[in-house]
């Protein structure tokens, strides 16, 4: 039964560890159901600790303890105490080092939570971040205890032919009864959350990388035999990341071997364990016929992310879990920049901001709002959030903007030099940036401790006689749980000015002798006015270029002004943003028309703006495709005081259909011009052509005529790459296409042996807005290919329905809410991490009408009152129900 008062952990209570571990030797005798773990620890009292406690407290969960030995002597049971979550050893030496040996067993097969050592599709593997190592053996399971690991793995040669762990392989041998052993040694101190073990029947592809200093690094990717032909892109992505980190940050890989293992059952995307990265198969496996262009890009980005962690996370790690954004925010920023350099910088920035505004802003506005450095938690796994990762990356990006590329590199170099081999804090990162650039970032530090999304309200006044433009910017931030009063932040606001002909107007601030096409305003007060001189005519303001800060912008804009920016703004982000604001304003008006029963008409300004975009030549076709996209229904809902899912969907569908009718010939011509088989080609041109033709097909699909239906089915039948096949199937599944079920069945038969492709099949049906979707989702829960124990499968069906299908999930009868609660309760005992993440779809219940509020709240109360509810789920559900003052 759940603890009625689960413990809250506070940042203010941090103390240094009472003991240090100087080295650890681990020995595993592997078995799917009864693995023996022997750990030999060399410890000493931490001289920096002032605690009078003379007992050693090691953390452990779900372990069967066999024995404890202190300095060569077996301890009697009255010399230690075993509790539900700890081993307390009494009277350990206080003045010198001592050696503690512990033997315990664990059951990997029974470990459905996928933390610690568990069985994944026949393979033994580990996930120790954040607190999984305590499910392997008793340990000081905290990130500021860093030590060297030597690991010996023993197993049956047929059952576990491959035995992997961190570092370098230093010895191996044979044993009786068809067993063998391998010893791995990691020369770098690390916290136990970076420990990894993999054992099973795996195949390997190998390559080499030569560092900038001439060292040869062996690269290995391990997968199941049937996936060996899907690793080439992952290997090339790894080499691209290694070269980029050398060129941009001067960081060279430090071991002689770098390994990646792909596993099918994994709670996360990937894990940066030192020298042995464990990945979700989703972010390793790719072949043109099984993976989309988006999959290819994400694989390279995630492989880059985990590789970059070698320095921003492994060599320098977190002092405590409140500092999680120290490594994740910085590393997400690094992987975003890597992907931007490798693909289209404009597209990457827009995609990142789109996700931030539709998902992280909602987190900031809800009951679970927290700073990127939280000050308290009940379950640390609940703080692997978009706020810590994505907003954390935006905070690092603002530092980069304030310092410039050269200054940021100076700061990162100093950071690596100062703190290599240490567990440090977010303040240490900022301090290095300050010291390297002689800048005061004291006010900027508030970004780390203040929750919520700031709002910038902008007013402008043009004085024709003085030829000046006064731009007044006011910053505010709504109250969030535990933070009713907000302080002013240091916000970089990048902006430019445009003349009436679309050319750049020079930005010259009053009192400055410099003028440029673009300027970074430093907003530090609650309200500031910036005056620009020498403007013979009133310019059009392009503000928050590149989305230079994670804020909401409030500024009166006419439809004509937005259409002008969509046609002329030189900043790629703001040009796209103008189109989104233009469409958003028009759809908002149509939503009001739907709610009041008025006839619907699309403003011709929007049609003309889209026509101009379609008629212009574009070098970056992927960017061109984004300019043709409409705001998502989720984003539109976020702009409403009370979310009306039916009106949003009706208005959005009407606009898409109207644009298709008005611009049918242009969409069709563009589709035909770019419809060619370029399967296996992933250059910018080929990817862009696929994006353009497929967005044109999505518009044409709204026309519901026989020619378009044939066009979609022909593309589905003849596609030789997954991008085109999935795009065609999406058009068929999201419109009244007569061959819908036949195509879905055909797709399943074609790809039933490819788990990641079938995940797409589940997700496509779960996110469909067509009638009958809820019944389809319920039926798919009983499908032979669905497995509640597989996180990817849960995310593809339950997650896609609850998080990507607002129309049907928020059905007025509450059936979607009850369905989700049923699955959360079922998952709670299987995998609390995944269960708690599913609760997120219910946390915004206050944003809806009273009837839906009552239905969602009732399901949250049902969840929280469930017997044996996990602290993971309890924390999210209880905070969601807490009163919001």
Work out the average pLDDT over 677-694: 96
**Residue 77 pLDDT greater than 70, yes or no:** yes
Query: 526-553 pLDDT, tens per residue?
Result: 999 999 999 999 999 999 999 999 999 9
Q: Which segments of 310-466 does DSSP mark as H helices, in order?
A: 324-342, 345-355, 361-364, 386, 392-419, 426-437, 446-449
**Residue 239 pLDDT greater than 50, yes or no:** yes
Cis geometry, peptide bond prior to residue 130 (ω within 30 degrees of 0): yes
Per-position DSSP letters for 563-595, written without gaps between them = HHHHHH-SSHHHHHHHHHHHHHHHHHHHHHHHH
pLDDT of residue 884: 63
Q: How confident is the model at residue 170 (pLDDT cuts 50, 70, 90)?
A: very high
Query: 123-160 pLDDT, tens per residue?
Result: 999 999 999 999 999 999 999 999 999 999 999 999 99
Q: Collapsing DSSP states into helix, strand and coil, what is residue 159?
A: coil
Longest dimension (CA), the chain: 95
Q: Specify the CATH number for 460-562; select among 2.60.40.1840, 3.30.530.20, 3.10.180.10, 3.40.640.10.
A: 2.60.40.1840
Per 3-state DSSP, the chain is made up of helix, strand and coil in percentages (nearest 5) of 45, 20, 35
By DSSP bridging, strand 455-463 and strand 35-45 are: unpaired
The owner of tokens 């009078």 is: 52
Give me the torsion for CA of 653, 691, 583, 733, rounded to 10°. Answer: 10
Class of domain 1-201: mainly beta
Give the start-end residues of each E strand in 1-112: 9-10, 19-29, 35-45, 56-59, 64-70, 73-74, 80-82, 86-89, 98-106
| 107 Cβ contact partners less than 8 Å away, ≥ 6 residues apart | 33, 34, 35
What is the C-alpha radius of gyration for the chain, rounded to an integer number of angstroms?
A: 28
**Residue 3 pLDDT greater than 80, yes or no:** no
pLDDT of residue 5: 65
Q: How far apart are CA 869 and CA 866, in angstroms?
A: 6
Residue 794 CA from chain centroid, whole number? 17
- DSSP H or E stretch at residue 879: helix 871-881
Would you state the structure tokens that stand for residue 172, as one six-digit string?
């191996």
Cβ burial, residue 243 (10 Å; 0-12/13-18/19+): middle
Q: How confident is the model at residue 1 (pLDDT cuts 50, 70, 90)?
A: very low
Instruction: Please say whether the beta carbons of 459 and 418 come within 8 A.
Output: no
% of the chain at pLDDT higher than 90: 98
Class of domain 317-449: mainly alpha
Q: How far apart are CA 834 and CA 423, in angstroms?
A: 28
CATH topology (fold) of 202-290: Zincin-like (3.30.2010)
Per-position DSSP letters for 788-854, written without gaps between them = TT-HHHHIIIIIHHHHH-HHHHT-TT-HHHHHHHHHHHHHHHH-HHHHHHHHGGGTTGGGS-HHHHH
Neighbours of 570 (CB within 10 A): 15
Q: Collapsing DSSP states into helix, strand and coil, what is residue 63?
A: coil
Work out the average pLDDT over 646-660: 98
Angle between helices 664-674 and 684-700 (to 10 degrees): 150
Work out the average pLDDT over 726-736: 97
Kindly report the pTM of this predicted structure. Answer: 0.98
pLDDT of residue 704: 85
Query: 791-824 pLDDT, tens per residue?
Result: 999 999 999 999 999 999 999 999 999 999 999 9
> What Cα–Cα distance (Å) separates residue 877 from each residue in 366, 840, 880?
12, 9, 5
**Residue 296 pLDDT greater than 90, yes or no:** yes
pLDDT of residue 2: 43
Give the start-end residues of each E strand in 243-397: 257-263, 270-271, 276-280, 317-318, 376-377
Query: 606-619 pLDDT, tens per residue?
Result: 999 999 999 999 99
Q: How far apart are CA 314 and CA 149, in angstroms?
A: 14
Q: How far apart are CA 238 and CA 308, in angstroms?
A: 10
Q: 752-885, superfamily in CATH?
A: Peptidase M1, alanyl aminopeptidase, C-terminal domain (1.25.50.10)
Instruction: Please say whether the beta carbons of 620 and 688 come within 8 A.
Output: yes
**Residue 599 pLDDT greater than 70, yes or no:** yes
CATH topology agreement for domains 1-201 and 752-885:
no
| 532 Cβ contact partners less than 8 Å away, ≥ 6 residues apart | 468, 469, 470, 471, 497, 507, 508, 509, 510
Nearest of 312, 320, 295 to residue 249 by alpha carbon: 312
Residues labelled as active-site residues = 306
Domain boundaries, the chain: 1-201, 202-290, 317-449, 460-562, 752-885
Tell me the average pLDDT of the chain.
97
Per-position DSSP letters for 117-156, written without gaps between them = EEEETTEEEEE-TTTTGGGTS-B--STT--EEEEEEEEEE
């Amino acid at each position: 039964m759940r603890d009625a008062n689960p413990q809250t952990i506070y940042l203010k209570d941090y103390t240094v560890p009472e003991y240090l571990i100087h080295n650890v030797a681990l020995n595993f005798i592997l078995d799917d159901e009864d693995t023996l773990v022997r750990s030999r620890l060399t410890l000493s009292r931490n001289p920096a600790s002032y605690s009078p406690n003379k007992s050693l407290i090691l953390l452990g969960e779900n372990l069967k303890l066999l024995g404890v030995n202190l300095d060569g002597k077996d301890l009697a049971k009255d010399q230690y105490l075993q509790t539900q979550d700890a081993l307390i050893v009494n009277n350990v030496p206080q003045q010198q080092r001592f050696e503690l040996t512990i033997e315990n067993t664990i059951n990997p097969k029974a470990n459905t939570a996928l933390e610690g050592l568990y069985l994944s599709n026949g393979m033994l593997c580990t996930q120790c971040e954040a607190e999984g190592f305590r499910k392997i053996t008793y340990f000081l399971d905290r990130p500021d205890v860093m030590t060297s690991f030597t690991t010996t793995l023993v197993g049956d040669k047929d059952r576990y032919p491959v035995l992997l762990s961190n570092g370098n392989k230093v010895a191996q041998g044979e044993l009786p009864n068809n067993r063998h052993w391998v010893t791995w040694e990691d020369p770098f101190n690390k916290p136990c959350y970076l420990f990894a073990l993999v054992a099973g029947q795996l195949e390997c592809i190998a390559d080499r990388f030569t560092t900038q200093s001439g060292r040869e690094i062996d690269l290995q990717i391990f997968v199941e035999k049937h996936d060996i032909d899907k690793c080439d892109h992952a290997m090339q992505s790894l080499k691209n990341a290694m070269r980029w980190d050398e060129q941009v940050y001067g960081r060279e890989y430090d071991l002689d071997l770098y390994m990646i293992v792909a596993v099918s059952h994994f709670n996360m995307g990937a894990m940066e364990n030192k020298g042995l990265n464990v990945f979700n198969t989703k972010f390793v496996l790719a072949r043109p016929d099984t993976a989309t262009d988006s999959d290819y890009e994400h694989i390279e980005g995630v492989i880059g992310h985990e590789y970059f962690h070698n320095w921003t996370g492994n060599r320098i790690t977190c002092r405590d879990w409140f500092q999680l954004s120290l490594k994740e925010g910085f590393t997400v920023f690094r992987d975003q920049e890597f992907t931007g350099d490798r693909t289209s910088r404009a597209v990457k920035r827009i995609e990142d901001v789109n996700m931030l505004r539709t998902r992280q802003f909602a987190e900031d506005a809800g009951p679970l709002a927290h700073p990127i450095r939280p000050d308290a938690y009940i379950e640390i796994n609940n703080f692997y959030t978009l706020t810590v990762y994505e907003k954390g990356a935006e905070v690092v990006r603002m530092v980069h903007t304030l310092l410039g590329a050269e200054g940021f590199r100076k700061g990162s170099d100093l950071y690596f030099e100062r703190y290599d081999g240490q567990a440090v804090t977010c303040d240490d990162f900022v301090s290095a940036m300050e010291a390297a650039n002689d800048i005061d970032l004291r006010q900027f530090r508030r970004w780390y401790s203040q929750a919520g999304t700031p709002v910038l309200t902008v007013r402008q006044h043009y004085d024709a006689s003085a030829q000046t433009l006064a731009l007044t910017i006011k910053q505010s931030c709504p109250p969030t749980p535990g933070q009713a009063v907000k302080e002013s932040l240091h916000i970089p606001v990048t902006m430019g000015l445009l003349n009436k002909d679309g050319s750049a107007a020079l930005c010259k601030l009053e009192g400055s002798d410099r003028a440029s096409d673009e300027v970074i305003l430093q907003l530090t007060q609650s309200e500031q006015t910036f005056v620009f001189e020498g403007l013979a005519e009133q310019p059009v303001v392009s503000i928050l270029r590149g989305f230079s800060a994670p804020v909401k912008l409030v500024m009166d804009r006419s439809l004509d002004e937005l259409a002008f920016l969509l046609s002329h703004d030189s900043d790629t982000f703001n040009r796209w943003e103008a189109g989104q604001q233009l469409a958003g304003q028009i759809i908002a008006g149509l939503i009001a028309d739907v709610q009041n029963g008025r006839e619907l008409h699309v403003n011709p300004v929007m049609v003309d703006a889209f026509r101009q975009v379609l008629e212009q030549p574009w070098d970056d076709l992927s960017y061109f495709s984004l300019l043709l996209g409409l705001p998502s229904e989720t984003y539109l809902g976020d702009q409403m005081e009370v979310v009306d899912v039916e009106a949003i969907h009706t208005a959005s569908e009407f606009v898409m259909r109207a644009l298709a009718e008005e611009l049918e010939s242009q969409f069709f011509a563009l589709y035909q011009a770019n419809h060619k088989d370029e399967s296996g080609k992933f250059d910018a041109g080929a990817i862009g052509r696929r994006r353009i033709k497929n967005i044109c097909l999505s518009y044409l699909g709204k026309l519901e005529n026989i020619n378009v239906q044939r066009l979609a089915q022909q593309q589905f039948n003849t596609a030789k790459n997954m991008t085109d096949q999935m795009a065609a199937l999406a058009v068929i599944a999201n419109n009244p296409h007569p061959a819908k079920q036949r195509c879905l069945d055909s797709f399943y038969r074609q790809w039933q042996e490819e788990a990641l492709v079938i995940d797409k099949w589940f997700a496509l049906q779960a996110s469909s807005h067509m009638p009958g979707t809820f019944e389809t989702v319920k039926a798919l829960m009983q499908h032979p290919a669905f497995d509640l124990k597989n996180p990817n499968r849960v995310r593809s069906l339950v997650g896609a329905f609850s998080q990507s299908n607002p129309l049907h999930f928020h059905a007025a009868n509450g059936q979607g809410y009850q369905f989700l609660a049923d699955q959360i309760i079922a998952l709670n005992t299987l995998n609390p991490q995944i269960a708690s993440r599913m609760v997120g779809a219910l946390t915004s219940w206050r944003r809806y009408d009273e009837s839906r509020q009552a239905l969602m709240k009732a399901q949250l109360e049902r969840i929280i009152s469930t017997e044996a509810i996990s602290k993971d789920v309890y924390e999210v559900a209880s905070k969601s129900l807490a009163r919001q003052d």
